[in-house]
Amino acid sequence: MGKLVLESQLVDTKIRVRKVPALLKTQKSKKIHFGLIKHWQLRMKRKVIIDTDPGIDDAKAIIMALAQPDWEVIAITLVNGNCKIKHQVNNIARLLHVCERTEIPVYKGSECSLLGNYDLQTGHHGVDGFGDVFTYDVNKSMIRDENASIAIVDLVKKYQGEVTLITIGPLTNIAMAIRLAPSLGSQLKDCFIMGGNIHGHGNVKPCAEFNFACDPESAHIVLNELRPPSPITLVPLECCNVSHLNWDIYKRLGKIGSKKNNFTQQIDRYTAREKMEAGERMIVYDECAVAAAIDGNTIEDYFEVYVTVELNGQYTRGQCVIDYEMYLKKSPNCKVIKKMSQKKFEELIFHSLK
């Protein structure tokens, strides 16, 4: 356990717990005790950085992350993806106000892919990424001047071995952070990525998933060079496709009378209606990665394998290459999630929106 200073003495956290009754005998010692407990709680919380391109599913994933009492989200970093950074700034500010978490620092990142020549914004989330339903402005005091990649490097170095990195957008910021600090991955606790595909079926290109298709070079760098202490937990498109919400569950969610849920219902309104009328499923993407990070028991099936990204194919650029038979003779770099517990996943969603 770590050491804390108490009245010029180093006190082990285990010993400190046993000294609580003695500390509470005076008003002065009460203040010392509660100060120590608060400090201890902050130190014990899991430190999390979320790299995101806040569209509708990102918002729900962030709400889920912020609902975890044992998590301390130490930064949210923005990357070009679902919408432009200028819209993302408004989106994340509105979201943090709704969640009453405006103390979390937000850092603006890359406004284009690593090569600067790809923009796959589909309009699926509206022009502004949140369904084009808001016109009001909010205070943006949480937005910092420091670049996202630099902030990631600095925070991971500050909290070596403690940070969980969750990426739910294109991987440009992370690739740039690796270029700034090649040892970045070794300083992480772990890493969860929503992106890529394992069966060659794309959702914006014939063979590529959106986050990887937006910046294949960055995805290639991250998968091959991040190298965290344990394999990257990769939540691919196929896992998300089977973790969809049926419409009965979605309607039950709509009855939760919280500010957070009212917010998600607003930004989701048009997309959900279109899908329902078309008879399509309500697929959730980014929430799957956050759920996997919250509780490993949500993961029902996975396999470890070496994964890389195709960079040159005319039709396959951005597609994940899965070395099932170990032809490349490389150690597994990813824990690929195939299926999640639908029951546990839905419980996390309900809990986060209350």
288: Cβ–Cβ under 8 A, 6 or more apart, which residues?
A: 194, 235, 239, 240, 243, 337, 340, 345
Q: DSSP for 128-169?
A: TSSTT--------TTEESS-HHHHHHHHHHHTTTTEEEEE-S
Alpha helices by DSSP H, 25-103: 27-44, 56-66, 85-98
Of 132, 290, 129, 120, the C-alpha closest to 219 is 120
Name the active-site residue from 53, 57, 215, 268: 53
| Distance from the first to the final alpha carbon of the chain | 34
Strand 3-6 versus strand 9-12 pairing type: antiparallel
**Residue 53 appears among annotated catalytic residues:** yes
Handedness of CA 57, 47, 332, 242 (dihedral sign): negative
Packing angle between helix 259-278 and helix 342-353, nearest 10 degrees? 130
Handedness of CA 47, 49, 54, 56 (dihedral sign): negative
Structure tokens at 200: 């060659």
Q: DSSP for 252-267?
A: HHTT--SHHHHHHHHH
Contact 165, 158 (CB under 8 A): no
Neighbouring CB atoms inside 10 A of 313's CB total 13
Q: Which residues participate in catalysis according to the annotation?
A: 53
